Amino acid sequence: MKLSLPKHPEIFLKPNTCVHGPGEPLIIPYEAAGQADPEVELAVVIKKDCKNVSVAKALDYVLGYMTANDVTARIVQSRGSQWGYSKGFDQFAPMGPTIVSAESIPDPSILWLKTTLDGVVMQDKPAKNMIFSVSEIVSYLSVVSGSLLLEVEV
């Protein structure tokens, strides 16, 4: 999607029914047949409430990181401006299988994220390419909610 860079992080919500195990089969609904795209994400797991947190203190609230897949039904996404519906189908957020502690990764921008589908590399990018840093995103979202699990697109 050739969009201009946002001034603020783009936010969309996924229902908890999207969360899915990494080794489980993903059932694509008929509405998305042939149009479901995988997108590698860096999932940021928050360890405690983080309300109105500064960018400088944001990583103090991170428990750890894991890989996630933000599956999107592109044909559904083209129907309107609200991305949540096209990303909110059951099982459209496989995650894990492990959380790596933030203590082990003090700078998440060093991570490299890769998606393969049936042996074909779909994405292969460093986290340092993110438009906003993990700290900036955690801080930005902490204004709205104190309890978060983030998927950060690279």
Fold of 16-48+62-129: Fumarylacetoacetate hydrolase; domain 2 (3.90.850)
The DSSP bridge partners found for residue 95 are 68
- Listed residue (57, 71, 72) closest to 134, CA to CA: 57
Q: What is the pTM of this model?
A: 0.83
Q: Over the stretch 130-151, which tens digit does the pLDDT of each residue have? A: 999 999 999 999 887 655 555 5
Burial 97-110 (b: 16+ CB within 10 A, else e): eeeeebeebeebee
Q: Over the stretch 44-54, which tens digit does the pLDDT of each residue have? A: 999 988 889 99
Domain edges within the chain: 16-48+62-129
Q: Is 140 exposed, middle or buried (0-12, 13-18, 19+ CB in 10 A)?
A: middle
CB 80 within 8 A of CB 60: no
Binning pLDDT at 50, 70 and 90, where does residue 153 land? low
